[in-house]
Amino acid sequence: MAIHIRDATDRDLPRIVEIEQLAFPTPWSLGAFRRELTLPFSRLTVAVAEKDPLPEGFLCRWLVADECHVLNVAVHPDYRRFGVGARLLGATISEAREKGADLVTLEVRRSNLAARGLYRKFDFEERRLRRHYYGPGEDAIVMELRL
Ligand SMILES: CC(C)(COP(=O)(O)OP(=O)(O)OC[C@H]1O[C@@H](n2cnc3c(N)ncnc32)[C@H](O)[C@@H]1OP(=O)(O)O)[C@@H](O)C(=O)NCCC(=O)NCCS
């Protein structure tokens, strides 16, 4: 499946919100994504297949000083397990390297085995636990990739 990664625009936001709502119990709002498009250190990318203009997934990252922080990544349920998440994350890591970052960080729910598997595939290390970060009983694992 030929997928390319490009920067999101305003026109992608409804689809991004749709994917977000299918992915998370407390989804970001349209306004939250719109704000990311205005922040100079933020980048919101989408994965798009050759034959369909509707994004299949998105990733939002901040690049501040030497650190790239992945804030949000999700793939539409119909397109999971086809390598879309890996393409989005791989592009972000390559960009971070090119821009001279030395660390990529993120938080993931302890119960989210799919995402933890994705990050481990890229050699992220599980560094520490933030207890109840996502609410009662929902711990976050802080993961880091040294570039
Ligand atoms: C996590 C998520 C983005 C992965 O996207 P994806 O496009 O399905 O992932 P890929 O097909 O690129 O898979 C890459 C690797 O991730 C791991 N992985 C992905 N889904 C998995 C699953 N359901 N179970 C276990 N490992 C999984 C595997 O290691 C996989 O490599 P493999 O296919 O060679 O085994 C997707 O499941 C999703 O949108 N989940 C809901 C939102 C979310 O949890 N986001 C992360 C928040 S921290």
- The CATH architecture to which 3-146 belongs is 3-Layer(aba) Sandwich (3.40)
pLDDT at 123 > cutoff 90: yes
Ligand 1 nearest atom to the CA of residue 107, by list position: 48
Distance between Cα 116 and ligand 1 center (Å): 8
Distance between Cα 118 and ligand 1 center (Å): 5
pLDDT digits (tens, 9 = 90+) for 17-52: 999 999 999 999 999 999 999 999 999 999 999 888
% of residues, the chain, pLDDT over 70: 99
Average pLDDT of span 92-109: 97
How much is the mean pLDDT over the chain?
96
pLDDT digits (tens, 9 = 90+) for 43-59: 999 999 988 889 999 99
Note the pLDDT of residue 137: 86
Ligand 1 nearest atom to the CA of residue 86, by list position: 12
Note the pLDDT of residue 102: 97
pLDDT at 1 > cutoff 80: no
Q: Which residues are catalytic?
A: 107, 119
| DSSP collapsed to 3 states, the chain | CCEEEEECCHHHHHHHHHHHHHHCCCCCCHHHHHHHHHCCCEEEEEEEECCEEEEEEEEEEEEECCEEEEEEEEECHHHCCCCHHHHHHHHHHHHHHHCCCCEEEEEEECCCHHHHHHHHHCCCEEEEEECCCCCCCCCEEEEEEEC
Domain boundaries of the chain, sorted by first residue: 3-146
